[in-house]
Structure 1
């Protein structure tokens, strides 16, 4: 879900077996996020902070008072600080980079843009690529931007694209920290990555071509034909490099987050006002995400702990099972701990330990398809909902603030995730794990 910085994910203490009734606040918050903006927009706009905070408080009090596990919640609070430092700093720095594209955004240009975004996601992470590319994506399609432009951008750039390196998505970085070689994922996941990205972009191209031809040529040329390619705010790439380098820092605690905040402040202070104005930059989207994910981080703890305690009872034994279970749960839970939960279960299934370097090497050599299945499931299925991965909600918030078309929570799932993305992910599972 949130795409937390993986270095701190497991520092919250011993996982407990919570009462499943306390998963209800998490379900309630998801239901509110899904329905209230559509059914009660004014109420949600004025009270979503209170709702997120109140439901999160229920889960926090249960752990602190009921289970006497304040350390667990304290660890989660620090994970939240890491998450918001990372995603917030990227948001600010990307807001200081203005990319202007040349000419009209034809279906071919758009498809190429998504492929470039998928590659870039492995170099700067799905969050970094999403924050850097979403505003140009909106501008280059401004005269015909519609809901599927939002959905397919999230599919490719914010999720599926980032499965080739540990930098791409937090679950893979967790695997790297556990001993999975840096380029192992690239070598093993590249065929599935190419298949998934190729299929998604092909479907997008077909839809975008219909959309493109529906607009009169004169309007297309008037809207975009006069623009030239240009990048402003180049110094912000230096601040971006600081943020990405900070991700790899483990000691001393807190230095990583401090560097990210310094980079964000430095970027904001040194970026010329016309660049922020050209990007229609405001802190509105990051404020919304910060409040909602504060509630999500707290309420998801009982769900994650219950899953970890009872993962063995799910009856999974084959790579295809791990692909689907880790995938479906990554669509609504934090994909990083979900990845670790199922990867640990796979190690246990083979009588090996994930914290033993020799066992990790043996597992990858003899049972590699299990690690591939968990990696692909955790990364790919994060695109199934807006809360499946942190960049998803950030992209939605930026599109909303840009006053262009974006699907609501249910429309995103019903119109795009289930009929388009799910069959493609099912095809990937069948092609690579059916044996």
Structure 2
């Protein structure tokens, strides 16, 4: 146990760097973040080699890269490229009413094309419509709360944890059982956002900032809509990544998923390859068929995806021991009530990848010996327990910038567009002050 905790130190060190350096020395961090990430990966490799072996270290790093990071970053890259080739132009100005409507639309859209897809599609239009405003950081914070996290609750396409549940026997449409919690949270957050935005909207108007409302609402124009075809290609690729591993054609005699053997037990599976190829082809075709003027209007750059790629390679590699430790102690934590599952799954999903965290507690629930509920490959799980685990994993990824894949991307794009976003801990002040009370209400209403 002590050894496992020591191996978690590089992950903790990297998180502290992400949290503190932008506060105390932002210029250094912007220039040398890649060196900081490399440093913690090297520290991890040294500690892991001392504890295990060079081969064991190589296997752990390669498993993190091929098993998790590669498909993660390819998906983000594809969505970033395709969404960057869709432009919104119109006369809508960023008022509280318009902003609430767009956030609600984006939140529902997240369950159809995923939180990352919806986030990439909606972020630039919302930034454009509010470009005249001075106080707009809160808009992007609620964007992360609602579109980048809450919206993924209604289908397995919405968020990877639910997709993993589907792969383990949870019926595809079972996640619609999350709708009462989803709509409750959506209503509460929409009301809170409206009043915060209205106050700051009036403050902007009082300081002489004015949108051009002479033609407001008379013309809305989308450019590059053919890219929706490529967006559908990416959605299909994600669905296939969940379905193909369950087919006999992609399994060997022991039921293991076929692929290219890398080292030890590390395999780059054929379903993962197919997913990556489809997504990269979609991104390539998107660029080849879209006029670069659309990207120029979107202020498209590679900065945001580059930052996410650098930070998350370090996160995925160094968090492996933390996930291993969680898997070993998860079934022994004595979590037998929905409230416990909701908060434990959610708290860990705020800092660890919410997909393996979801799987740990799904497995833990399946070992509790229930005889009625949802029949999955990990055991029978009562509906109220599965509801709590699913909501915790999906909703509480919004608690930090690193809790869910789109969060940091939205922060980076906002920073690039001159929106002053809070620091890591500054963002957590918002999530603790707004989301935690909402989650307490969830507990009282749905999980007691």
Q: TM-score, normalised by structure 1?
A: 0.90
Picking from 189, 194, 197, the partner of 2:178 is 189
The superposition leaves residues 397-427 of structure 1 with CA deviations (integer Å, 9 ceiling, x where unpaired) of: 100111122112111111x101111100111
CA contact (8 A) 2:354 2:404 kept: yes
C-alpha separation in 2, matches of 1:358 and 1:155: 31
Q: Which residue of 1 aligns with 2:65?
A: 77
Q: Residues 295 and 433 from structure 1, CA distance in 2 versus in 1: closer, same or farther, beyond 3 angstroms?
A: same
Task: Work out which of the residue numbers 2, 14, 19 in structure 2 matches 1:34.
Answer: 19
Matched, 1:45 2:33: no
1:390 is aligned to 405
CA contact (8 A) 1:323 1:374 kept: yes
Aligned counterparts of 1:352 and 1:341: Cα–Cα separation in 2:
20
Cα separation, partners in 2 of 1:362 and 1:289, compared to 1, 3 Å = closer
SS of the residue 1:216 aligns to: helix
| Kept in 2: contact 1:104–1:225 (CA 8 A) | no
Q: 1:93 aligns with which of 77, 82, 97?
A: 82
Aligned to 1:318: 337
For residues 263 and 312 of structure 1, what CA distance do their matches in structure 2 show? 41
Query: Using the alignment, how far apart are the partners of 2:383 and 2:3 within structure 1?
Result: 32
Provide the secondary structure at the position in 1 that maps to 2:98.
Answer: helix
* Counterpart in the other structure of 1:378: 393
403-412 or 100-109, which moves further after superposition?
Answer: 100-109
From 280, 283, 294, the equivalent of 1:261 is 280
Q: How many Å apart are 1:302 and its aligned residue?
A: 0.8
SS of residue paired to 2:88:
strand
Superposition pairs of residues 4-403 of structure 1, within 5 angstroms: 19-63=4-48, 66-68=51-53, 69=56, 70-78=58-66, 79-144=68-133, 145-186=135-176, 188-216=177-205, 219-222=209-212, 225=215, 228-249=219-240, 250=244, 252-253=270-271, 254-350=273-369, 358=375, 363-364=380-381, 367-403=382-418
In the aligned structure 2, how far is the partner of 1:34 from the partner of 1:52? 13
Give the whole-Å Cα distance in 2 for the aligned partners of 1:17 and 1:246.
41
Measured after TM superposition, the shift of residue 65 of structure 1 is 6.2
Alpha-carbon contact 1:82-1:257 (below 8 Å) kept = yes
Could you tell me how far apart the structure 1 residues matched to 2:346 and 2:90 are?
Answer: 35
Task: State the distance in 1 between where 2:231 and 2:298 align.
Answer: 17
Query: 1:11 maps to what in 2?
Result: none
TM-score normalised over the length of structure 2: 0.87
Number of matched pairs: 413
Query: Contact between 2:367 and 2:378, CA under 8 Å: does it hold in 1?
Result: no
Asked if structure 1 preserves the Cα contact closer than 8 Å seen for 2:157 and 2:239, the reply is: no
Q: Which moved more, 1:72-81 or 1:391-400?
A: 72-81
1:411 correspondence with 2:431: no
Structure scoring higher RCO (CA < 8 A, sep ≥ 6) equals 1
Please say if residues 331 and 384 of structure 1, whose CA atoms lie closer than 8 Å, have aligned partners that are also in contact: yes
Is residue 370–residue 380 contact of structure 2 (8 Å, CA) maintained in 1?
no
Stretches of structure 2 that go unaligned for 5 or more consecutive residues are 245-249, 251-269
Is the Cα–Cα contact under 8 Å of residues 140 and 224 in structure 1 kept in the other structure? no
- Deviation (angstroms), 1:361: 10
Which structure 1 segments of 5+ residues have no match?
Answer: 1-15
**Native 8 Å contact 1:103 1:224 kept in 2:** no
Is 309-318 or 268-277 further displaced after alignment? 309-318
1:429/1:29 CA distance change after superposition, 3 Å: same
Contact 2:153 2:175 in 1 (8 A): yes
For residues 3 and 362 of structure 2, what CA distance do their matches in structure 1 show?
22
2:83–2:120 Cα contact (<8 Å) kept: yes
Task: Give CA deviations for 1:195-224 in whole Å, capped at 9, x if unaligned.
Answer: 111111110001111112223387434378
Alpha-carbon shift at residue 63 of structure 1 (Å): 4.1
